Amino acid sequence: MKILGIETSCDETAAAVVEAAPDAALPWRIRSSIVASQIEIHREWGGVVPEIASRQHIRDICGVVERALADAETNWADLDAIAVTQGPGLVGSLLVGVAFAKTAAWAAGKPLVAVNHLAGHIESLWLEHGDIPTPAVVLVVSGGHTSLYLVPTAGAYRLIGRTRDDAAGEAYDKIARLLGLGYPGGPVIDQMAAGANDRAVSLPSTRLTHPDRNAPDREYRFDFSFSGLKTAVLRHVRLRQSALASEHLPDNELRDLAASFQASVVDTLVDRTIDAAKWYQARAIGIAGGVSANSRLRADAQARGVSAEIPVFVPSRHLSTDNAAMIAAAGLRKIAAGDLAPANLNAVATFPL
Ligand code: KG4
Ligand code: ZN
């Protein structure tokens, strides 16, 4: 079984071929994975511009898919199915992938599978590591999402916590913009924080102790909030700017602030994930999504997992950020369950998992 995955939910045009292999320990193999990133285009604007993203997906998608097929030494006739990200994401971007996948599936006479982008991030862990013990608690942490899922058995997902305001990656991006560090913020802050003093600035880490007023029936103890932290950093920067009578903070101060901010974000993410894993008696912890590329998050989660005696799984860096191999893997999961998409599939911007 060989599946083509297509991903266009944000600012990466991606295509990949993943094969189901007769190997119980590692049942999925990546035959090719191509990602055309639009980061350079959006950098000029300090963030993703939706209309520009959609137009760039249209320009890139044919070449990216052709390259994925060529690298996998396969062709349309040889594929068994086509999987595409249906949502969540920018609707104009999603539409390009969905329209392309529907057309290709119809023209090549192949089944179509609709994938939730967040399920893709979760399945990146199974794609990389094979059979992860369950029940598992998985943190999906990216530019658009910060959510905790319970995975009772592989392929089943239950939301047990999520951010009430900003996603962790979004907080990185906004703080980087505030400090004039460019876009995307995660990798820059990660680099700047290395070796700096993470206790230089005292910043809050939020623990929610009350139900969400918008969803009072939901569990709340594993929810996140990053907007208070963002405000605290902003206030600190303004105070220092007026004390120094300058817009620009010295480099060592910026580095210490980056490290302090990162420590607060990572502590919150790891604390909540470990708490949830203990609460649900998880046999494994997974961390996926763009922010899982963060070096401190990876190191701290591994260390805390060792103390809690729960193994921690993270994807390799190219499977952390958006890619189509994870979408193909989630597609294989859905095909195995007989869950195919209709020919009139539509993109869905807000698509809860
Ligand atoms: O999963 P992803 O590629 O796209 C979304 O689905 O949002 O995640 C992108 C996010 C961005 O906010 C970026 O700043 C963040 O992941 N990111 C990082 C790192 N690399 C990427 N955040 C912290 N540390 C990193 N090394
Ligand atoms: Zn993503």
Quick one: which atom of ligand 1 is closest to the CA of 293?
A: 26
Residues with CB under 6 A from ligand 1: 10, 142-144, 169, 172-173, 184-187, 190, 289-291, 293-294, 321-322
Among 172, 181, 266, 270, say which to mutate for ligand 1: greatest number of ligand atoms within 8 Å of CB. Answer: 172
* Regions in the chain scoring below 70 on pLDDT: none
Q: Could you count the other beta carbons within 10 Å of the beta carbon of residue 153?
A: 8
Which of 298, 264, 262, 269 is CA-nearest to residue 185?
262
Cβ-based neighbours of 82, under 8 Å, separated by 6 or more? 3, 4, 6, 101, 104, 105, 108, 110, 111, 112, 113, 331
Contact 10, 96 (CB under 8 A): no
Give dist(CA 98, CA 155) in Å, integer: 22
Instruction: Please name the residue that has the structure tokens 């020919």.
Output: 343
Residue 30 buriedness (CB in 10 A; 0-12 / 13-18 / 19+): buried
Nearest CA to ligand 1 atom 22: 186
Q: Could you count the other beta carbons within 10 Å of the beta carbon of residue 124?
A: 31
Instruction: Please name the residue that has the structure tokens 């006739």.
Output: 77
Tokens of 174: 């906004």
Tell me which ligand sits closest to the C-alpha of residue 119: 2
Give dist(CA 5, CA 325) in Å, integer: 6
Tell me which ligand sits closest to the C-alpha of residue 298: 1
Give dist(CA 268, CA 343) in Å, integer: 43
Ligand 2 centroid – CA 244 distance (Å): 39
- What is residue 214's predicted lDDT score, i.e. its pLDDT? 78
Q: Is the peptide bond before 135 cis (omega within 30 degrees of 0)?
A: yes
Ligand 1 centroid – CA 289 distance (Å): 7
* Bridge partners, 81 (sequence order): 3
Model confidence over 305-348: pLDDT tens digits?
999 999 999 999 999 999 999 999 999 999 999 999 999 999 99
Tell me which ligand sits closest to the C-alpha of residue 39: 1
- What is residue 309's predicted lDDT score, i.e. its pLDDT? 98
Q: Is the pTM of this model over 0.85?
A: yes
Tokens of 349: 């911007």
Quick one: which atom of ligand 1 is closest to the CA of 12?
A: 3
Give dist(CA 241, CA 254) in Å, integer: 12
- What is residue 2's predicted lDDT score, i.e. its pLDDT? 97
Nearest CA to ligand 1 atom 8: 290
Instruction: Give rounded-to-5 percent helix, strand, coil for the chain.
Output: 45, 20, 35
